[in-house]
Chain A
Amino acid sequence: MSNTKDFIIEQIKNKISEHKADITIKNTGKVISTSDGIVKISGLSEVAMSEMIEFKNEEKVVYGVVLNMEEDNVGAIILGDYSKIKEGDEVIASGKILQVPVGEEMVGRVVNPLGEAIDGKSSIKTDKSYPIEKIAPGVIKRQSVNEPVQTGIKAIDAMIPIGRGQRELIIGDRQIGKTAVAIDTIINQKGQNMKCIYVAIGQKKSKIASIVSKLEKNSAMDYTTVILAGASDPASLLYIAPYSGTALAEYFLDKGEDVLIVYDDLSKHAVAYREISLLLRRPPGREAYPGDVFYLHSRLLERSCRLNKENGGGSITALPIIETQAGDVSAYIPTNVISITDGQIYLEPDLFYKGNRPAVNAGLSVSRVGSSAQIKAMKKVAGKMRLEAAQYRELAAFAQFGSDLDQDTKAKLERGKRLNEILKQDQYSPLLVAKQVLIFYALINGFIDDVEVENVMKFEEGLHQYADMAGKKVLDQISNGEFNEELEAEMKALISDYKATLQ
């Protein structure tokens, strides 16, 4: 036993000798007033914008961030519990811009925007921290997007492909599957060499609990960090949450890794920022948002990027989520974020209630850079498929009126119906790209035309199972990104073989 005791004492001695007492002159101020998480401070003569400040308190140190600097006072937000801060309290400037701890230890954890664990497991010890605000990488460091992010969702991977380093907005009304798209994408990143960060802004904690358990069940927490600023947290934490998530993403980016970050959702973030701005008495603009909401989101999303080889070659792919009110995409925040991102996935209530889930509206959804990032085989089938889908949409609206249709039109309508069936997909069941290519190939080459519409889903399921058993080689070849006549013939053979087993 004495051995362990000596060991402990030795450890303590080492620790103490490591400790360096910092004795620098610090700037101080006094709290003039405090209300709703906002403090007005006098003094703090040399404080900088967005500098971290400490409120001296008996038990716990509470931090704040300077957001306003006026002639004779400083306005700041309090990060955390503000009920114990009183008028006349002493405030000390830390001399540091707001930083959050980052590191590998964060992976698999649920943390708050300040990097403190809130999942009930051990506290997180990291030796690095990154500033939450950073200027986005410049033109010289960047490279165009050329590698795909496989979401595992057929409708998205085929028609609205996303590339590594892209910013793709997910937009739609409440309760329509926006989060589901993002979570499915995270689940599908298993083994794809991707770190995932899910930033929940103003979400119900029950929802996050169920998401985390779903991720754990699919062993997606091995590469995912959840940053949670819940609905009951003060607006200041909601405000810094996406920035602190991006700071963590940049840590992995600097190591040359690929990161996927989901901001769920930015409309609540804008509302939190509006609250802070109004309390700080900044003048309100349209919809009472302050003048710099555009900059609020543009500086955040601009930090997503794909770096070139000389700068590590990492990437940050961002999937911001925006909630619209009754399908109104022309409100202030939706239009802002649409114009910042490289495309959007528009989820439509009508489709959702008709049972087309995920309710992706292929007409209004676009991806401005993604198609250059698709694998070759997918590019081949998706092009044709997109055309079929567009033709079907046009004809379907038309065909409601007349019953007399020529053969050609009828065939197109029938195929369109089957395409619709194929695009339906259950939640938490992402699909391999190779299998996606296979089913789309079957469709555009007329293999499914003689299957009843009701049976298409069953047919598809069977095809995937058959391919798992008999077509491993073909699937591998598709995944490798090659596409030639030989492979095409093999795919044809595989599908016909499968069809033969059905009869």
Chain B
Amino acid sequence: MKITPKEYATGLFYSISGKNDDEIKNIVNNFVNLLIINNDVSKADKVSQVFSSLWNKENKIVESEVTTSNKLDAESQESLKKFLIKESKAKEVIIKENIDKSILGGMIIKYNDKILDRSLKTKIKNLNNFIKR
């Protein structure tokens, strides 16, 4: 039977939970050997992807991406973090910042599968559509 990347990742995740560093090292070694034996090394990329999203979910870590037209100052960064923690009910938020002049102003926040588009560009576009109707 074929083992899917998701099955590999969940297996790995549950076998290392609650173990100390030395044990984890051992388990990871075994895991890599298993991949080699099963001829599934090509799936390693996918496995690590699924594993990290699983890890984030279990530990309530949210990765988010914020696009702004200008760099955020420390204060707004802090309030953004608070906002995201409140919205996504996570314990920890990792923010990746992008700067894109073309959105004109405001910001676009992405986290998990969600998007909050408060850029000036989108607002103008919506207003344009509304007037045209």
Contacts and interface: CB of A to CB of B under 8 A. Distances in A.
A121 interface: no
> What is the size category of the interface that chain B forms with chain A?
10 to 19
A21 B120 CA distance: 11
Contacts of B87: 25
Contacts of A92: 115
B110 A15 contact: no
Interface stretch (A26-34, A147-155, A426-434): A26-34
Nearest to B133: A125
Contacts of A24: 116
Contact of B110 (A19, A28, A45): A28
Contacts of B126: 19, 21-22
Contacts of A27: 113-115
B89 interface: no
A55 B36 CA distance: 40
A44 interface: yes
A28 B112 CA distance: 9
Contact of A16 (B116, B117, B118, B131): B131
B25 interface: no
B116 A25 contact: yes
Contacts of A485: none
B113 A44 contact: yes
A6 interface: no
Nearest to B124: A21
Contact of B114 (A21, A26, A72): A26
B3 interface: no
Contact of B115 (A12, A21, A22, A25): A25
B65 to A, nearest CB: 11
Interface string B53-80: 0000000000000000000000000000
A125 B87 CA distance: 37
B127 A19 contact: yes
Contacts of B117: 23, 26
A27 B114 CA distance: 4
B14 interface: no
Interface string A4-26: 00000000100110110111111
A43 interface: yes
Nearest to B131: A15
Contact of A21 (B110, B112, B123): B123
A44 B127 CA distance: 26
B81 interface: no
Nearest to A22: B126
A274 to B, nearest CB: 30
Contacts of B127: 16, 19, 21
> Which one of A12, A23, A24, A92 has the highest number of Cβ atoms from chain B below 10 Å of its Cβ?
A23
Given A16-B127, A25-B114, A28-B115, 6 more contacts: A12-B131, A22-B126, A23-B117, A27-B115, A28-B110, A45-B112
7 contacts: A18-B130, A21-B123, A23-B117, A23-B118, A25-B116, A27-B114, A125-B133
A-B pairs with lowest CB-CB distance, top 5: A45-B113, A43-B113, A28-B115, A19-B130, A25-B116
